[in-house]
Amino acid sequence: MNSMYSGLSGMLDSANKLQNSANKLVSQGRNKVADGDNRKIRPDINLTEDKNVNISKEMVNQLIAKSEFKANVKVVKIADENIGTILDIKS
């Protein structure tokens, strides 16, 4: 059961990392609207963006979070299989 809990909490942590990184990336372009090939500033939108977001770093963070999530999914699957095996043996 500990491995199941570890896998699930790891999945949640990875999902939160991915969401935080996505939020940082979205805040970069929140005030820009594509109008054909022209971009224009939308002063009517309240900006709360961080001017120092490094897009390359955030993309790497997203890839890392994705890999962490996949690894934790494997942990949960293996824990589930082990629980199933134990239940089969007990019955």
- For 43-61, the pLDDT digits (tens) are 544 445 456 788 889 999 9
Residue with tokens 């990336």: 25
Q: Are 30 and 46 in contact (CB under 8 A)?
A: no
With a pLDDT cut of 70, the percent of the chain lying above it is: 75
Give this prediction's pTM: 0.67
Q: Of the candidates 19, 14, 20, which has an alpha carbon nearest to the alpha carbon of residue 50?
A: 20
By three-state DSSP, how is residue 38 classified? strand
At residue 15, the pLDDT reads: 94
pLDDT confidence of 71, banded at 50, 70, 90?
very high
The most confident of the ranges 35-44, 46-55, 62-71, 82-91 is: 62-71
Q: Are 37 and 20 in contact (CB under 8 A)?
A: no
